[in-house]
Amino acid sequence: MLLILGALLAGLGVGVFSGLIGVGGGVIAVPILVYAFGMEQKMAQGTSLMMLLGPTGAFAIMEYYRAGNVNLKVGLLMAVGVLIGAYFGGHWAQTMSNVVLRRTFAVILAALAIKMFLQK
């Protein structure tokens, strides 16, 4: 029961932050799955992708679209690239150790955070 409640609350938090700041929920979900649920990096990433498949974007995009904040042309074109990239990225991730994958994830997040923080 505690697992169910924890997962539901974590999912709620991920959904709120994804909709609020427009990040892919994996940025938030993967660390939660690793540290709060004790998952290995690959399991956390796979679980995050499964969780985010559709629901997060579908509901958030409705609100952004209603407000006129969606560029359909760019979004659809990028979606094609995302589909292809996700396939190859998922395959590549399976060839890496959990430690290397976790460190890669952390370095990318840190670099993006620093860049965003330093921008005016």
Stated pTM of the model = 0.72
Rounded to whole angstroms, how far apart are CA atoms 84 and 116?
A: 27
| Domain with 106 in it | 2-118
Beta strand residue intervals within 1-120, DSSP E: none
- Asked if residue 98 has pLDDT above 70, the reply is yes
8-31 pLDDT, tens digit per residue, is 898 888 888 777 776 777 888 899
**Do the Cβ atoms of 78 and 72 come closer than 8 Å?**
no
**Count of domains in the chain?**
1
**Do the Cβ atoms of 101 and 45 come closer than 8 Å?**
yes
Q: Which two tokens stand for residue 104?
A: 């890669």
